[in-house]
Amino acid sequence: MLQRIEKARKTIEAICETVDKPIQVMEVCGTHTVSIFRHGIRSLLPEKLKLLSGPGCPVCVTDQGYIDVVMDLALRDDTIIATYGDMIRVPGKAGSLESLHRNNVKVVLSTDDGLALAKKHPDKAVVFVAVGFETTTPPSAVAVADAAKEGVDNFCILSGHKLVVPAMMALLGTKNDKIDAFLCPGHVSVILGSDAYQPVVETFKRPCVVAGFEAVQMLEGLAKICQQIADGKPAIDSVYGAAVTPQGNVTARKIIEEAFEPCDGAWRGLGVIPGATLKLRDKYDQFDALKRFGIKEVPTEEPAGCQCGQILCGLLDPPQCGMFGKKCTPDTPIGPCMVSTEGACSAWYKYKQR
Amino acid sequence: MCLAVPARIIEKDGDKAVADAMGNRWNIRITLTPEIEVGDIVLIHAGYAITKVDEEEAQKTWELFEEIAAFEAERQKVKEGEV
């Protein structure tokens, strides 16, 4: 193991010595962001390899307007809100779900638990807070299909599901784009398959390398990226062993496709990205919280002074935000990147900016 | 949010299954991995198996969890002033 780490590190170092300007690699996945800090990866890298934390934490990219809609739904007497624990502390305009202290807000571990709540409380509408990328989307799709099949009419989801690849494309399309390559998410790629990054490589000629979450995998992934840049041959590659295949989990993708369709939706900091959010297909109208409660529009808002948007685009490091570590800490978070344990700000804070 | 845990399938009934990781058992769905059989090791995310993984890969993760648990226990003792 140590030999592999050392070999990867040497490759990175040797290539970085030959380049004029730093190589900037964006890790797209929030779980990578945390792993990079936890393993002290930055301390092993030469100055000329800079890691940027991307829009890969589902909590962080969820627009404040979405949170506000969830809060409004939570304040009704005819609802139960079922949510993954990650979302409970994210502040909207009027506080967080946690700060409401209402017993109709339930933390669940899976969509099945949400559906079970609906069966247990037929007099309430159970709203599942459906956030996340291609990893959490299939369970939402299955839950809706199950609810339809079993006639659980009081179950619905508020879809804030997001697609990773269109967001990567949108980042590269901006004039502020300073991303040389992507370290692609491990588990999202299990579902998507590594071939999904083809548009990024073809259109923008940036390396896309999938890695797992161990130190050695992340370093080997970075070494592959450096090698591709040195050779001038951007390509798709994976160092996540058998878990990630070129075609991904075809069954899971079919299940997503069957229930959801892409639409334009707001990402925190990135604004509205065309085709990068998922909404339920028309046949599932009755399970769509927006339609059930007649919510016409989800507002887009950001907390004042919060730089999460810039941070999510890799344009700023967390300590460059004026509120970081002062007004905004894990105990008193203002932006989502400080709330989520997978957020870049939280990780920087916790690991003392290593 | 995208963390996944490896576990071994010990029972299977349609698209529902029971999985075991280091003695912890829970009910999961195998809707996304219909090809899974009893005895296989899968990665579980949000209550769903998302892919099959090999024994070696799973073993590494389980060992890591044991190390973390041991570390946490040690830390707790220090906190309580036992060490």
Q: Is A253 on the interface with B (CB under 8 A)?
A: no
Task: Report the C-alpha gap between A42 and A53 in whole angstroms.
Answer: 12
Q: Are B66 and B78 spatial neighbours (Cβ–Cβ below 8 Å)? A: no
- Number of Cβ within 10 Å of residue A129's Cβ equals 29
- Torsion (CA) A279, A167, A69, A346 in degrees, nearest 10: 140
Three-class secondary structure of residue A270 per DSSP: coil
Q: What is the DSSP string of A273-326?
A: EEEEEEEE-GGGGGGBHHHHTT---------TT--HHHHHTTSS-GGGSTTBTT
- Residues from chain A that touch B4, judged by Cβ atoms under 8 A, are 135, 187, 190
Chain B closest-CA separation from residue A269 CA (Å): 19
Task: Report the C-alpha gap between B29 and B14 in whole angstroms.
Answer: 9
Non-local CB neighbours of A74 within 8 Å, separated by 6+ positions: A81, A97, A100, A102, A104, A105
Higher pLDDT, A353 or A72: A72
- pLDDT tier, B2 (very low <50, low <70, confident <90, very high otherwise): low
Inter-chain touch A110–B33, beta carbons under 8 Å:
no
- pLDDT tier, A242 (very low <50, low <70, confident <90, very high otherwise): confident
Q: Is B55 on the interface with A (CB under 8 A)?
A: no
- Number of Cβ within 10 Å of residue A120's Cβ equals 10
Q: Is A84 on the interface with B (CB under 8 A)?
A: yes
Inter-chain touch B50–A135, beta carbons under 8 Å:
yes
Question: Among residues B37, B46, B36, which one has the least CA distance to residue B3?
Answer: B46
Query: pLDDT digit string (tens) for A151-164?
Result: 999 999 999 999 99
- For the record, the structure tokens of B37 come out as 């059989």
pLDDT exceeds cutoff 50 at A31 = yes
Amino acid present at A159: S
Angle, vertex CA B66, rays to CA B70 and CA A245, nearest 5:
150
A65-82 burial: b if 16+ Cβ within 10 Å, else e: bbbbbbbebbeeeebbbb
**Nearest residue in B to A244, CA atom:** B51
Q: State mean pLDDT over A53-64.
A: 88
Burial category of B80 from C-beta neighbours within 10 Å (exposed 0-12, middle 13-18, buried 19 and up): exposed
How far is the CA of B82 from the CAs of A193, A250, B67, B69, B76, in angstroms? 49, 52, 20, 17, 9
3-state secondary structure B14-78: CCEEEEEECCEEEEEECCCCCCCCCCCEEEEECCEEEEEECHHHHHHHHHHHHHHHHHHHHHHHH
Q: State mean pLDDT over A239-262.
A: 95
Q: State mean pLDDT over A244-252.
A: 96
Q: Which candidate from B4, B47, B54 shows the least CB-CB separation from A112? A: B47
Query: pLDDT digit string (tens) for B4-14?
Result: 889 999 999 99
Given the cut 0.90, state whether the ipTM is greater than it.
no
Task: Report the C-alpha gap between A309 and A182 in whole angstroms.
Answer: 18
Three-class secondary structure of residue A50 per DSSP: strand
Non-local CB neighbours of B59 within 8 Å, separated by 6+ positions: none
Q: Which residue do the tokens 């037929």 mark?
A: A122
pLDDT exceeds cutoff 90 at B75 = no
Inter-chain touch B1–A241, beta carbons under 8 Å:
no
Quick one: what percent of chain A has pLDDT higher than 70? 99
Dihedral of alpha carbons A94, A97, A102, A105, sign: positive
pLDDT exceeds cutoff 70 at B1 = no
Higher pLDDT, B16 or A90: B16
Quick one: what percent of chain A has pLDDT higher than 90? 72
Query: What confidence score (pLDDT) does residue A353 get?
Result: 58
Beta strands in chain A (DSSP E): 23-27, 49-53, 79-83, 105-107, 125-132, 155-161, 181-184, 208-210, 236-238, 260-267, 271-280
Task: Report the C-alpha gap between A344 and A105 in whole angstroms.
Answer: 27
- pLDDT tier, A302 (very low <50, low <70, confident <90, very high otherwise): confident
- Number of Cβ within 10 Å of residue A84's Cβ equals 23
- Residues from chain B that touch A188, judged by Cβ atoms under 8 A, are 2
Q: Which candidate from B1, B50, B57 shows the least CB-CB separation from A191? A: B50
Query: pLDDT digit string (tens) for B46-74?
Result: 999 999 998 887 887 788 778 777 877 88
- pLDDT tier, A354 (very low <50, low <70, confident <90, very high otherwise): very low
Chain B closest-CA separation from residue A110 CA (Å): 5
Task: Report the C-alpha gap between A126 and A157 in whole angstroms.
Answer: 8
Higher pLDDT, A256 or A354: A256
Q: Which candidate from A84, A110, A251 shows the least CB-CB separation from B1? A: A84
pTM: 0.90
Question: Among residues A131, A137, A136, A60, which one has the least CA distance to residue A314?
Answer: A60
Inter-chain touch A255–B31, beta carbons under 8 Å:
yes
Query: pLDDT digit string (tens) for A89-146?
Result: 888 888 899 999 999 999 999 999 999 999 999 999 999 999 999 999 999 999 999 9
